[in-house]
């Protein structure tokens, strides 16, 4: 794909002919012991004033590196090895550190990815905003203080004046991201680089913040370079798309065109796999003419998923394997001296899961969904209520009976980096549950490991490798293999695919559905992402503030959500604004 | 915070009684008869020994001795040494000298340690960094008395810039060389601690964001890297202040300083219960206060740490 220069969108009136940012054949490499490893290879893109351009790609595609190269904040040993970054005609690649300092903040603002780690924990919010204002000479002294309040209010913190002296840890993730957006826009830069500005946030918060960011940049006439892994999100928020793969631009052009007619095979796969798009696709497949589906399924990766999801209605009637009745979990939080406040994390929750089906538990962070998982897994005791598994009350299980229950109900957690022991090779990791339950001889365990690796489509040679040598997707496969080692009946998947790239996510979801058919597994799928739910779940329980607000089959939830909260969650799935096939 | 401080100060009471009781018991259990030892090879008349024993309450059971001691302690009477000097006099002479030495050493190691550690952290992998690492390794691995004797020989004997031994008044300028020796090992640790902390923080996301705001390099390092990096260093300094204040037997020995370390050492050898226990009691209080100071500084440096009331 050599088409590099993007034509401006014709409907924006105020476009000047001179592009604001023009990257030409950018090359970035990282110095390692084995020489220079290229991360960005000949990237070119053009952004005009007032435009929003999104760079899309999976992790490792070089999208963040490209963005960081623009303001010359490459991590570690990163270096620009070739090409030009023309900003208003001036090549940023050739500027000195001192000159760059004047560009950063004042001309180019930056909103980083993770709001948790991007504010200095030891300085208060007001200080961190004010220093940006002073450094860029927007205002000094008392005026700077006034401006700080104004910037934060514009960023959506209405009580900014009272909260200036508070520290980052006293703010929620969404509020911190508002602060970072405020800092990025504080000097009214001409260009704002937003690097996955909301990927760490809940969907509804994500939507609010992106809406707000969109309004601000439109009001100020700021151009936005938007970096994201979510194609649906990118297409919704930007007029222009640049798709990157392995350090190269594989496709670029107006968003809707790319979405409707992806040319490069990678883009096609990406369009096919993006859960937000896939779930919309299922939606339109059910409601509208069948050609809509064809338009968007250029790739075939998820066609099985789509087909399976569409067939869910004919799920067989079987007995309930898990029956959760009116469970509650109360935490006592010590506040002052000997006083406690009580936090009802799970409030009177009931649901049932039939054998061989998938039930999704959906909600934002803090809704209590993970606590339900812990209660079900008997990792924490319930305060009141009853959990029945296969007709047996599990609440009071002890010793051998508890061990037996654990064998049948296995968890897979979100973080494939954190849930594998870095000192254990893959073979040992998978064999560990067998060892813990004293199952089989050494040779039999080896055979089982082999079988399991085969089931999760990993080569037998993987057994000698360590978690650090594997990709996120491979690690999550290992975690699934480990969970399957004891031939359980139920897998509790707590955000098991949330940390993965879309394509990898698609693969794991595919694997999980295959394993379900093959082994007759029952899943409790915990996630914040309704789009993923659409692909895998038979039934959905929507949780809010410790309660289940809506329980229904997946189709009912998507077709006719009853609760306003569910509707809000559905609306927050990116890509909702597209008119499919119309 | 006030509540927290108060609670910590109250905790000193059991620590004080526990430590003094334990030390008293240990000194009591030391083998040998301290009074007999006073007279060397020529034993005095039997009546004299009994009289001295009675005078120092050595004829009573251990626990009674302890309570007599504690009772006197709270009346301001710390007892007397076997040579007849009041223990309070000995303390009043030894502690100021040690305090001067300790604070001087602390100032030297903190200032130079943080400075060198910061520069090394900023220039990781460069010549300055590598040399700092080698020098600090050297200082850590060479025993203090070797460093002490070498510095004493070079600066006092060869160059004549300092006195070989410190006079009994121990003015600050004479304490400079011993303080340097005392500071050397901790200096090395502080360099390494600061360096690691700075280089970690340099890669932190918030430092990149600070640079992206348009701040100068100097401000990014001074405001966003340094303060965050000081948290572990301050912990170390606080603990070190405690151990410096209770004296340094080796360094005091080399430079003939009449500080706490040497005095306690001599008292232990003589089995002088009241002297040892009184010194240790004060040391315990100093240690607890130093630790409290660390915890309070910790909270001042890192607002995320707020102690429960």
pLDDT single digits (tens) A430-480? 999 998 888 888 899 999 999 899 888 888 888 888 887 777 788 888 888
The answer to whether A122 contacts B228, with C-beta atoms less than 8 Å apart, is: yes
The answer to whether residue A320 scores a pLDDT higher than 90 is no
User: In residues, how long is chain B?
Assistant: 309
CATH number of residue B143's parent domain: 1.10.3720.10
The answer to whether B206 contacts A117, with C-beta atoms less than 8 Å apart, is: yes
The answer to whether A121 contacts B227, with C-beta atoms less than 8 Å apart, is: no
Q: Are B215 and A135 spatial neighbours (Cβ–Cβ below 8 Å)?
A: yes
Q: CA A260 to CA A268: how far, in whole Å?
A: 10
Domain tally, chain B: 1
Whether A136 and chain B come into contact, CB under 8 Å, resolves to: yes
The answer to whether A71 contacts B212, with C-beta atoms less than 8 Å apart, is: yes
> Domain limits of chain A?
19-119+188-264, 304-319+355-382+394-572
Q: Are A320 and A354 spatial neighbours (Cβ–Cβ below 8 Å)?
A: yes
Domain A304-319+355-382+394-572: give its CATH superfamily.
P-loop containing nucleotide triphosphate hydrolases (3.40.50.300)
DSSP β-bridge partners for residue A191: A108, A223
Q: CA A407 to CA B72: how far, in whole Å?
A: 67
* B11, HSE (Cβ side, Cα atoms, 13 Å): 11
Give the three-class secondary structure for A77: coil
Name the residue among A75, A76, A120 with its Cβ closest to that of B210: A120
- Please give the DSSP secondary-structure letter assigned to residue B80: B
Give the three-class secondary structure for A93: helix
Distance from CA of B157 to the nearest CA of A (A): 49
Highest mean predicted confidence (pLDDT) among A173-182, A309-318, A547-556, B185-194:
B185-194
Give the chain A residue nearest B4 (alpha carbons): A337
CA A381 to chain centre: 30
Q: Same fold for the domain at A19-119+188-264 and the one at A304-319+355-382+394-572?
A: yes
- Res A297: pLDDT: 40
Helix, strand, coil distribution of chain A in percent, nearest 5: 40, 25, 35
Name the residue among A112, A122, A132 with its Cβ closest to that of B214: A132
Q: Does a structural domain hold residue B234? A: yes
In B, which residues are within 8 Å of A339 by CB distance? none
CA distances A189 to A72, A192, A343, Å, are 16, 7, 44
Q: Are A452 and A480 spatial neighbours (Cβ–Cβ below 8 Å)?
A: no
Q: Does a structural domain hold residue B284? A: yes
* H-only helix segments in A48-154: 63-70, 97-103, 125-135, 141-154
In A, which residues are within 8 Å of B205 by CB distance? 112, 114, 117-118
DSSP β-bridge partners for residue A322: A353, A389
Indicate the burial class of A151 (C-beta count within 10 angstroms; 0-12, 13-18, 19 or more): buried
Q: What tens digit of pLDDT does each residue of A114-169 get?
A: 888 899 988 989 999 999 999 888 888 889 999 999 888 888 888 888 888 888 88
In B, which residues are within 8 Å of A173 by CB distance? none
Name the residue among A101, A106, A187 with its Cβ closest to that of B216: A101
The answer to whether B308 contacts A75, with C-beta atoms less than 8 Å apart, is: no
Q: Is 0.85 exceeded by the ipTM?
A: no
Flag whether the pTM goes above 0.95.
Answer: no
CA neighbor of B180 nearest in space, from B98, B263, B106, B233: B106
Give the chain A residue nearest B225 (alpha carbons): A120
Q: What tens digit of pLDDT does each residue of B82-110 get?
A: 777 888 888 888 888 888 889 999 999 99
Q: Are strands A490-494 and A522-527 parallel, antiparallel or unpaired?
A: parallel
Question: What percent of chain A lies above the pLDDT cut of 70?
Answer: 87
The answer to whether B302 contacts A183, with C-beta atoms less than 8 Å apart, is: no
In B, which residues are within 8 Å of A122 by CB distance? 227-228, 301-304
Q: What angle do CA A144, A73, A194 make, to 5 degrees?
A: 65
Confidence of residue A581 (pLDDT cuts 50, 70, 90): very low
Q: What angle do CA A163, B206, A137 make, to 5 degrees?
A: 70
Give the chain B residue nearest A136 (alpha carbons): B214
- Please give the DSSP secondary-structure letter assigned to residue A80: E
Which of A107, A109, A120, A194 to substitute to test the interface with B, most B CBs within 10 Å? A120
Q: Are strands A21-32 and A78-87 parallel, antiparallel or unpaired?
A: antiparallel
Q: Which two tokens stand for residue B239?
A: 């603990």
Q: Which two tokens stand for residue B222?
A: 């001074």
CATH architecture of A19-119+188-264: 3-Layer(aba) Sandwich (3.40)
The answer to whether B212 contacts A75, with C-beta atoms less than 8 Å apart, is: no
The answer to whether residue B236 scores a pLDDT higher than 70 is yes
Confidence of residue A193 (pLDDT cuts 50, 70, 90): very high
In A, which residues are within 8 Å of B206 by CB distance? 117-121
The answer to whether B212 contacts A117, with C-beta atoms less than 8 Å apart, is: no
Q: Does a structural domain hold residue B210? A: yes
Q: Are strands A35-47 and A21-32 parallel, antiparallel or unpaired?
A: antiparallel
Domain that holds residue B209: 90-306
Distance from CA of B211 to the nearest CA of A (A): 8
The answer to whether B205 contacts A114, with C-beta atoms less than 8 Å apart, is: yes
In B, which residues are within 8 Å of A167 by CB distance? 303-304
Distance from CA of B191 to the nearest CA of A (A): 22
- Res A73: pLDDT: 87
Q: Are B81 and B90 spatial neighbours (Cβ–Cβ below 8 Å)?
A: yes
Q: CA A205 to CA A319: how far, in whole Å?
A: 38
The answer to whether A169 contacts B203, with C-beta atoms less than 8 Å apart, is: no
Q: CA A293 to CA A288: how far, in whole Å?
A: 9
The answer to whether A135 contacts B227, with C-beta atoms less than 8 Å apart, is: no
Distance from CA of B227 to the nearest CA of A (A): 8
The answer to whether residue B306 scores a pLDDT higher than 70 is no
Q: Does a structural domain hold residue B112? A: yes
Q: Are strands A90-91 and A78-87 parallel, antiparallel or unpaired?
A: antiparallel
- Res A17: pLDDT: 66
């Amino acid at each position: 794909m050599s088409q590099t220069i993007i034509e401006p969108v014709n409907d924006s009136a105020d476009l000047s002919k001179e592009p604001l940012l023009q990257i030409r054949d950018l090359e970035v490499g990282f110095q390692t012991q084995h020489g220079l490893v290229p991360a960005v290879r000949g990237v070119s893109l053009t952004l005009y004033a007032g435009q929003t351009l999104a760079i899309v790609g999976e992790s490792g595609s070089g999208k963040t590196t490209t963005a960081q190269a623009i303001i010359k904040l490459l991590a570690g040993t990163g270096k620009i090895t070739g090409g030009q970054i023309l900003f208003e005609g001036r090549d940023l690649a050739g500027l000195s550190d001192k000159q760059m300092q004047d560009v950063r903040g004042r001309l180019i603002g930056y909103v980083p990815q993770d709001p948790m780690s991007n504010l200095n924990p030891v300085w208060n919010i007001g200080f961190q905003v004010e220093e940006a204002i002073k450094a860029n000479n927007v205002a000094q002294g008392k005026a700077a203080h006034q401006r700080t309040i104004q910037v934060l209010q514009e960023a959506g913190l209405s009580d900014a004046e009272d909260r200036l002296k508070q520290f980052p840890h006293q703010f929620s993730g969404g509020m911190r991201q508002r602060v970072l957006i405020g800092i990025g826009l504080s000097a009214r830069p001409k260009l704002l680089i937003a690097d996955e500005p909301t990927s760490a946030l809940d969907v509804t918060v994500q939507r609010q913040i992106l809406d707000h960011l969109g309004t601000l940049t439109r009001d100020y006439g700021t151009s936005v370079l938007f970096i994201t892994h979510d194609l649906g999100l990118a297409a919704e928020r930007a007029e222009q798309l640049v798709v990157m793969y392995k350090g190269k631009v594989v496709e670029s052009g107006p968003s809707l065109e790319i979405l409707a007619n992806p040319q490069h095979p990678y883009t096609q796969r990406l369009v096919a796999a993006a859960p937000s798009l896939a779930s919309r696709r299922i939606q339109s497949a059910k409601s509208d003419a069948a050609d809509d589906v064809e338009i968007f399924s250029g790739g075939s990766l998820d066609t099985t998923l789509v087909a399976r999801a569409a067939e869910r209605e004919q799920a067989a009637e079987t007995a309930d394997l898990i029956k959760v009745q009116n469970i509650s979990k109360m935490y006592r939080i010590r506040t002052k001296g000997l006083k406690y406040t009580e936090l009802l994390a799970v409030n009177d929750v009931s649901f049932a899961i039939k054998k061989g089906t998938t039930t999704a538990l959906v909600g934002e962070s803090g809704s209590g969904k993970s606590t339900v998982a812990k209660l079900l897994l008997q990792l924490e005791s319930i305060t009141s209520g009853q959990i029945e598994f296969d007709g047996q009350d599990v609440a009071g299980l002890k010793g051998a009976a508890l061990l037996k229950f654990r064998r049948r109900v296995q968890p897979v957690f979100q973080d494939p980096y954190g849930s594998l022991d870095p000192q254990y090779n893959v073979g040992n990791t998978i064999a560990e549950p067998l060892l813990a339950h004293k199952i089989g001889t050494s040779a039999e365990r080896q055979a089982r490991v082999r079988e399991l690796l085969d089931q999760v489509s990993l080569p037998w040679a993987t057994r000698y490798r360590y978690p650090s040598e594997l990709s996120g997707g491979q690690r999550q496969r290992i975690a699934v293999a480990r969970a399957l080692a004891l031939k359980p009946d139920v897998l509790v998947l707590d955000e098991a695919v949330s940390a993965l790239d879309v394509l990898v996510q698609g693969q794991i979801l595919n694997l999980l559905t295959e394993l379900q058919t093959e082994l007759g597994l029952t899943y409790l799928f915990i996630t914040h992402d309704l789009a993923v739910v659409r692909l895998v779940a038979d039934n959905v329980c929507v949780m809010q503030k410790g309660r289940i607000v809506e329980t229904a089959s997946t189709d009912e939830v998507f077709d006719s959500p009853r609760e306003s909260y569910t509707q809000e969650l559905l609306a927050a799935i990116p890509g909702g604004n597209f008119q499919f096939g119309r | 915070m006030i509540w927290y401080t108060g609670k910590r100060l109250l905790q000193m009471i059991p620590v004080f009684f526990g430590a003094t009781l334990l030390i008293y018991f240990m000194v009591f259990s030391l083998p040998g008869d301290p009074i007999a030892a006073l007279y060397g090879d020529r034993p005095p008349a039997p009546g004299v020994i009994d009289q001295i024993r009675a005078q120092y309450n050595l004829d009573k059971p251990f626990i009674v001795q302890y309570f007599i001691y504690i009772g006197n302690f709270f009346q301001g009477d710390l007892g007397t040494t076997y040579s007849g000097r009041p223990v309070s006099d000995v303390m009043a002479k030894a502690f100021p000298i040690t305090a001067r030495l300790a604070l001087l050493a602390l100032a030297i190691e903190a200032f130079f340690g943080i400075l060198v550690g910061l520069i090394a952290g900023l220039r990781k992998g460069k010549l300055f960094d590598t040399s700092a690492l080698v020098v600090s390794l050297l200082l850590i691995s060479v025993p203090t008395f070797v460093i002490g004797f070498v510095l004493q020989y070079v600066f006092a004997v060869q160059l004549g810039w300092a006195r070989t031994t410190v006079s009994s008044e121990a003015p600050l300028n004479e304490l400079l060389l011993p303080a340097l020796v005392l500071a050397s090992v901790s200096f090395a640790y502080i360099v390494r601690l600061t360096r690691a902390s700075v280089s970690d923080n340099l890669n932190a996301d918030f430092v990149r964001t600070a640079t992206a705001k348009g701040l100068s390099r100097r401000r990014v390092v001074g405001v966003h890297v340094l303060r965050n990096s000081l948290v572990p260093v301050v912990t170390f300094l606080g603990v070190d202040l405690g151990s410096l204040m209770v004296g340094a037997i080796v360094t005091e020995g080399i430079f003939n300083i009449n500080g706490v370390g040497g005095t306690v050492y001599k008292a232990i050898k003589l089995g002088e219960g009241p002297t040892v226990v009184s010194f240790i009691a004060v040391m315990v209080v100093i240690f607890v206060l130093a630790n409290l100071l660390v915890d309070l500084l910790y909270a001042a440096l890192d607002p995320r740490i707020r102690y429960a009331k």
